[in-house]
């Protein structure tokens, strides 16, 4: 290194490394680092001796690990164990993020020794994402009950157990507040500290939810501190419940994400702080439970019972009639996000050009629009968006219209090939509060109108 070269202070390098390692994990099962020198994190140590020293000593860099099964030789296992020991030592005593995938029951191809090393640091686990099948990997974890003293966030795919076992390995977790349970609905009973959770996400497919679903109503009263609740069911739910149910109060709930297949849940509880509804439509093949009047009444009843103010509405994979039914119930919405096919009809409704005015208080709108058809349909879509911006723009005369003008409009457009010049020319004339992203990149207008 030349004497006149400027050396970046180690503290600044640490800040750079912190940004580099944000959201990244080190794969403990992948030792082919020579083929990944240009990737994170190994490329950092190849810059120069000074950078390598900072790379080796920055303990936060060595706190996120991934572990997966594979076909490994005895020598490979030995080297994996050696490196895992070094990496964990470099992490010092900092909190750990652990991602482990072991969906199969057999462990002959799973690095069991490395897994036990991670379990030995269980008290330092802060965030975990686990896919564990029926086998030793899961059983070793469940034996560690009471050692998850630092765990704050857990994503765990529940394995399919035979019989009705009860697992309490996660029942003691004094800091666990975020829980994500994909594929829930098996016969085993998994116990968690429900009362302290602030975020809960449950995802189940088809009829797998039916067995556990009967306990959902019993679970809700325990969610005393829940702020964000997500229930995603991909088919209509037919679980029998008592005809008369006492009302449940969720005093801290602010976000409810739910499928229309679970619309009956709207009648179960009150939520005075509820401000964001995220609604998923029915599966395209499930047409037997379309009762628009039913869930319109249930959503309206929930809002009236709770005296809550729904400020944000997110619609995902909803049909046109589903969207129209829902927006009628939440006229006070100020922010709207739509990721649905055939969404142009509801956009036309929001313009109010046909005499019907949906969402008069709307200020912020975000759209995801996928173009899979001929370019002419894209041109028609942009025309509809342009009408919306014109009808709900800031130049709107509030004296003659009892509506609020849009403050922000974001359109995320996904299409194959190049966007036609005719479309881009129209977009150039959009007002400054409108933003267009094409395939993830912001489209910069040369002369946005004021």
- From residue 155, give the alpha-carbon distance in Å to each of 162, 184, 209: 22, 12, 18
Give the tens place of pLDDT for each residue, 135-176.
Answer: 788 888 888 877 888 999 999 886 665 455 666 777 778 999
Over the stretch 57-87, which tens digit does the pLDDT of each residue have?
777 888 889 998 888 888 888 988 998 998 8
Q: Given pLDDT bands bounded at 50, 70 and 90, which one contains residue 302? A: very high
Could you read off the pLDDT of 26-57 as tens digits, one per residue? 888 877 654 454 555 566 666 677 777 777 77
pTM of the complete model: 0.85
Q: What is the mean pLDDT of residues 373-396?
A: 82
Of the spans 26-30, 216-220, 363-367, which averages the highest pLDDT? 363-367
Q: Where are the domains of the chain?
A: 334-450
pLDDT-based confidence at residue 6 (cuts at 50, 70, 90): low
Q: Using an 8 Å Cβ cutoff, are 295 and 260 in contact?
A: yes
Higher pLDDT residue, 110 or 317? Answer: 317
At 398 the pLDDT is: 47
**pLDDT band of 280, cuts 50, 70, 90:** very high
pLDDT greater at residue 48 or residue 307: 307
């Amino acid at each position: 290194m030349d004497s006149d070269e400027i050396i970046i202070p180690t503290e600044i390098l640490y800040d750079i490394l912190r940004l580099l390692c944000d959201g990244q994990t080190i794969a403990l099962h992948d030792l082919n680092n020579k083929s990944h020198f240009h990737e994170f994190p190994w490329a950092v140590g190849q810059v120069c001796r000074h950078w390598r020293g900072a790379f080796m000593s920055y303990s936060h860099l060595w706190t996120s690990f991934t572990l997966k099964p594979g076909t490994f030789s005895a020598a490979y296992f030995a080297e994996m164990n050696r490196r895992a020991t070094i990496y964990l030592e470099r992490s010092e005593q900092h909190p750990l993020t652990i991602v482990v995938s072991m969906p199969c029951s057999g462990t002959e191809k799973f690095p069991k020794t490395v897994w036990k090393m991670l379990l030995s640091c269980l008290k330092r686990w802060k965030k975990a994402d686990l896919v564990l099948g029926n086998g030793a990997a899961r059983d070793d974890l469940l034996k560690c009950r009471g050692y998850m003293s630092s765990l704050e966030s857990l994503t765990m795919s529940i394995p399919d157990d035979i019989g009705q076992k009860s697992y309490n390995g996660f029942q003691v977790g004094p800091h666990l507040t975020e829980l994500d349970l994909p594929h829930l609905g098996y016969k085993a009973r998994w116990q968690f500290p429900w009362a302290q959770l602030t975020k809960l996400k449950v995802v189940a497919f088809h009829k797998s939810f039916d067995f556990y679903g009967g306990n959902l109503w019993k679970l809700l009263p325990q969610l005393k501190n829940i702020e964000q609740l997500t229930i995603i069911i991909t088919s209509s739910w037919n679980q029998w419940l008592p005809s008369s149910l006492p009302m449940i109060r969720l005093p801290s709930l602010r976000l409810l994400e739910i499928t229309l297949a679970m619309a009956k849940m709207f009648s179960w509880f009150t939520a005075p702080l509820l401000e964001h509804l995220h609604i998923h439509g029915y599966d395209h093949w499930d047409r037997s439970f379309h009762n628009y009047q039913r869930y319109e009444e249930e959503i309206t009843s929930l809002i009236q019972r709770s005296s809550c103010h729904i400020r944000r509405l997110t619609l995902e994979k909803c049909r046109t009639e589903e969207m129209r039914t829902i927006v009628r119930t939440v006229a006070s919405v100020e922010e709207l996000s739509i990721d649905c096919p055939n969404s142009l009809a509801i956009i036309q409704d929001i313009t109010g050009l046909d005499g019907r005015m949906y969402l008069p208080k709307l200020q912020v709108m975000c759209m995801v629009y996928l173009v899979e058809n001929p370019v002419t349909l894209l041109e028609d879509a942009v025309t509809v968006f342009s009408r919306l911006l014109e009808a709900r723009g800031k130049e709107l005369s509030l004296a003659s219209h009892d509506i609020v003008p849009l403050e922000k409009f974001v359109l995320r457009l996904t299409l194959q090939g190049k966007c036609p010049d005719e479309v881009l020319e129209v977009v150039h004339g959009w007002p400054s509060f409108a933003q267009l992203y094409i395939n993830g990149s912001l489209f910069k207008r040369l002369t946005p109108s004021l």
